[in-house]
């Protein structure tokens, strides 16, 4: 099946994107975040950072239905595809919004592949606002679907799930665990006895990360073919993270361009000089490339599933490289102020560096792409 010429960004998706952007603009996302991170900026020597998110804004997000954009209608969602979710993810990155929404979008596409009664029940709970996190990886950090360090025995889990994003915001953890039949996904209530959340210290000021220790914790089986489920959802997860990077990269481009127009040096705006002008143009080129590949990957997942993996590898590879490039250049071109705690530039810089490696960096995705070609 061929892709539509507009990548599936029809009038409904465009209205959704614009509505969500207006909502986030009203939230003053960075201004809301700042009080919670004061004194925690240094990941090594700073104070413990709380898992900040604006609960009132999250409830408003639920009322708008943004969290349920790709949850099937049968489970209480809107039932739109990855193209719509990608539009939402791009705005999350543009506004660096600290919330459970990214994990909700990721979990939706994993559970959509499961198609079991328990997975559908969890989707219904998510449509009602349940906050989830994903625990798929072992300590080695492998992105392969069998990398988990958790073992399942008679619906009870033991082991540690590593690199769990926004774990401190979640109520439920979707855990990948080894069974005698292979890898399966389980639902774990984070309030259960035997669950211990160990906060990781990371540079990203907009997210929290943890490794979650499970000791004989009861769990509900969500899948019957967990490995296949993870493999089928992988293109969507990579594309959503690439969209987040593209949105943040666009913010870095615009912020740097505006700064270059007003910062004076030698009686001229610094944007007059080629040493500033050319890197900004290169930032724009990188953003445009990444965004085009992201839209293409989302459309492939919705309309041409056989090509989804290839397109997702291209998108995340480009977006990861762009995120690192724009982070470096936006900070450098802001000069001394770009390195200060008061500058928004450093918040986006750290988020981009963290996002670069989530679901694989550019090098990893190019290696996977080489195996497909």
146 and 23 housed in the same domain: no
Sign of CA dihedral 122, 123, 126, 132: positive
pLDDT of res. 64? 95
What's 205's domain CATH number? Answer: 2.40.110.10
Domain stops at, among 80, 106, 130: 130
Domain stops at, among 82, 98, 130: 130
182 backbone dihedrals φ, ψ, rounded to 5°: 135, -160
Q: How many domains does the chain have?
A: 3
287 and 368 housed in the same domain: yes
Q: What is the dihedral of CA 14, 110, 61, 120, to 10 degrees?
A: 110
126 and 137 housed in the same domain: no
Candidates 134, 71, 123; CA nearest to 100 is: 134
Domain stops at, among 206, 225, 244: 225
Q: Is 182 helix (H, G, I), strand (E, B) or coil?
A: strand
pLDDT of res. 125? 98
User: 352 lies in a domain?
Assistant: yes
Query: Which range of residues forms the domain containing residue 336?
Result: 227-372
126 and 139 housed in the same domain: no
Q: Which residues pair with 221 in a beta bridge?
A: 186
17 and 123 housed in the same domain: yes
In this structure, what token pair is assigned to residue 243? Answer: 């969209």
Calculate the alpha carbon distances from 16 to 153, 225, 300 in Å. 43, 33, 20
What's 65's domain CATH number? Answer: 1.10.540.10
165 and 237 housed in the same domain: no
237 and 368 housed in the same domain: yes
User: 57 lies in a domain?
Assistant: yes
232 and 368 housed in the same domain: yes
Residues 284-338: tens digit of each pLDDT: 999 999 999 999 999 999 999 999 999 999 999 999 999 999 999 999 988 878 8
pTM for the whole thing?
0.95
How far is 238 from 156, CA to CA, in rounded Å? 30
Helices of type H across the chain: 11-27, 29-37, 55-64, 82-95, 101-114, 117-127, 226-262, 274-303, 308-333, 344-357, 362-372
What's 359's domain CATH number? Answer: 1.20.140.10
User: 142 lies in a domain?
Assistant: yes
pLDDT of res. 271? 65
238 and 215 housed in the same domain: no
How far is 312 from 243, CA to CA, in rounded Å? 11
37 and 84 housed in the same domain: yes
User: 6 lies in a domain?
Assistant: no
Residues 63-79: tens digit of each pLDDT: 999 999 999 999 999 99
How far is 118 from 51, CA to CA, in rounded Å? 28
In this structure, what token pair is assigned to residue 106? Answer: 């990721």
In this structure, what token pair is assigned to residue 185? Answer: 């996904």
User: 170 lies in a domain?
Assistant: yes
Q: Which residues pair with 157 in a beta bridge?
A: 152, 217
pLDDT of res. 255? 93
351 and 232 housed in the same domain: yes
How far is 29 from 114, CA to CA, in rounded Å? 34
In order along its 373 residues, the chain shows pLDDT tens digits of 577 888 988 999 999 999 999 999 999 999 999 988 888 878 888 888 888 889 999 999 999 999 999 999 999 999 999 999 999 999 999 999 999 999 999 999 999 999 899 999 999 999 999 999 999 999 999 999 889 999 999 999 999 999 999 999 999 999 999 999 899 999 999 999 999 999 999 999 999 999 999 999 999 999 999 999 999 999 999 999 999 999 999 999 999 899 787 676 787 866 656 777 898 899 999 999 999 999 999 999 999 999 999 999 999 999 999 999 999 999 998 887 887 888 899 999 999 999 999 999 999 999 999 998 8
């Amino acid at each position: 099946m061929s892709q539509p010429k507009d990548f599936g960004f029809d009038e409904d998706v465009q209205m959704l994107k614009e509505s969500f952007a207006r909502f986030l603009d009203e939230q003053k996302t960075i201004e809301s975040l700042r009080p919670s991170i004061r004194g925690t900026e240094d990941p090594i020597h700073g104070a413990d950072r709380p898992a900040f998110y604006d609960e009132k804004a999250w409830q408003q997000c639920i009322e708008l239905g943004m969290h349920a954009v790709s949850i099937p209608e049968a489970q209480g969602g809107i039932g739109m595809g990855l193209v719509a979710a990608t539009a939402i993810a791009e705005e999350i990155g543009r506004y660096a919004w600290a919330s459970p929404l990214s994990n909700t979008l990721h979990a939706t596409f994993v559970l959509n592949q499961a198609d079991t009664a328990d997975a559908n029940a969890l989707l219904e709970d998510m449509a009602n606002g349940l906050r989830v996190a994903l625990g798929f990886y072992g300590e080695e950090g492998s992105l392969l679907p069998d990398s988990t360090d958790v073992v399942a025995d008679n619906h009870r889990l033991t082991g540690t799930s590593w690199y769990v994003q926004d774990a401190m915001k979640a109520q439920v953890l979707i855990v990948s665990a080894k069974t005698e039949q292979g890898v399966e996904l389980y639902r774990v209530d984070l309030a259960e006895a035997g669950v211990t959340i160990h906060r990781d210290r990371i540079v990203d000021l907009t997210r929290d990360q943890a490794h979650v220790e499970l000791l004989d914790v009861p769990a509900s089986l969500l899948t019957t073919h967990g490995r296949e489920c993870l493999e089928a959802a992988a293109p969507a997860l990579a594309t959503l993270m690439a969209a987040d990077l593209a949105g943040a990269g666009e913010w870095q481009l615009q912020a740097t361009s505006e700064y270059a127009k007003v910062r004076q040096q030698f009686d001229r705006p610094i944007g007059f000089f080629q040493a500033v002008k050319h890197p900004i143009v290169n930032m724009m080129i990188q953003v445009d490339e990444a965004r085009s590949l992201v839209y293409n990957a989302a459309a492939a997942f919705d309309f041409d599933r056989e090509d989804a993996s290839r397109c997702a590898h291209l998108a995340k590879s480009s977006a990861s490289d762009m995120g690192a490039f724009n982070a470096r250049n936006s900070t450098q071109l802001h000069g001394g102020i770009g390195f200060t705690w008061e500058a928004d530039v450093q918040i986006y810089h750290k988020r981009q560096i963290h996002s670069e490696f989530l679901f694989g960096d550019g090098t990893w995705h190019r290696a996977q792409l080489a195996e497909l070609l």
